[in-house]
Amino acid sequence: ATFEFPGSGYMDGSQAPPPPGPPPRPNGGYQMPGGSFGGPGGEYGVPPPMNMPIVRHRPEDIDFAGNNFPSWHQAPPTPQAEQSYNQGQGQGQGQGGGSHAQPTHGHIPKYNIPQEIQQEASTVKLSNCRGRKRALLIGINYFGTKHLLKGCINDVHNMKKFITEHFGFREQDMVILTDDQRDNPRRMPTHDNIIKAMKWLVSDARMNDSFLFHYSGHGNVVASRTGDEIDGNDETICPIDFESRGQIIDDDMNAIMVRPLPRGARLTAIFDCCHSATALDLPFMYNHMGKLKNEKAISFAGKGLMAAGNSYLKGDIAGALKGLTKSLDIMMTGDQKLEKSRRTKSTMGDVIMFSGCKDDQTSADTKTEDLAFTGAMSHALVSSMNANPHQTYVELLQDIRRRLAPKYTQ
């Protein structure tokens, strides 16, 4: 049960412009330590260049013992909203107008999926989320660098407050990595700390445990070296030290957090960053109507042919030929790549991922009503869940898109 819901909201084209207005005051959001990068007004930094170095990891080589991450605590009393949650009926049955329940899967139709995977999927048990809970929250503003962002640490604080108040998560079962914790090196969002925290998050997972992963920061792409990506690119996230220690690649995030999950364990992942649609390399991706997007390679090839045609009409002959060649390659090899991904990157766990944009798009910061900077998608997701606690995942995605549509190109 692995689903991605990409493109909750994104800015089309290059790096999103900063929202208008002055930088946040101390009572209106996070105050950047030591001033801001970029001169008066705290202008945004530049996005990381594509094809920056990556560092690969084998999950069995990752040891988080020295990071003082929390050990499992006894499962907390289940909030009343979750006690009454009925997964089988696909409907949250919370008590009272202010209660919250986990979003439900709703009806997911069957698609052209290899038979052996369908047989395995028939034995998948969805988590009831009444077991133990853990959260890994990462927010990186890239202080003092040319890659400055403004809303990422606020995203972490907002998400922590939301899941603590409404879903029974406890601070003692969370790891929070933000780049304002300079006095605590083990809680800085470095490459090493993030990789170790990812492994910690799902370690010793059991049926009905639930895990939340939230990342707010820069995302990027690199050319795939393994040839397993249908678009030819791997997606990455950028730790605070990515220029010296390397980016973290989607293949490794899948291997560390997705594949180890046992039957009946839930991982909910939120990537509020650029180029994030396939950041976990989940093999099944659904659009906002609940329809499978990557059932056949021809759908990818068709988009490439359209882009090649547009390049030709604009006089970009070289771009048109490149796009045509890529589309032909997708038509020849794409279905095999999709099938391989479904065979090698699935899990018996229950995984749901929301992303801030498509793989070829960029995400944006925004300002809330109190002038605090925050990630646009993170803010819309929390706002949607607060306004309507009982939704299916597809309904939640649709509402997020509606909230973002007036300000952002969908």
Buried b (16+ CB within 10 A) or exposed e, 352-384: bbbbbbbbebbbbbbbbeeebbbbbbbbbbbbb
Nearest to 294 by CA among 234, 250, 358: 358
If you write DSSP's letter for every residue of 96-157 in order, what string do you get? STT---PPB-------S--HHHHHHHTT-----S-S-EEEEEEE---TTSTT--SSHHHHHH
Give the separation between CA 98 and CA 81, rounded to whole angstroms. Answer: 9
Handedness of CA 300, 337, 281, 345 (dihedral sign): positive
Give the separation between CA 247 and CA 194, rounded to whole angstroms. Answer: 11
Catalytic residue among 218, 275, 288, 390: 218
Give the separation between CA 78 and CA 101, rounded to whole angstroms. Answer: 11
Catalytic-residue membership of 218? yes
Catalytic residue among 129, 238, 273, 274: 274
Nearest to 243 by CA among 11, 67, 45: 45
By annotation, the residues acting in catalysis are 218, 274
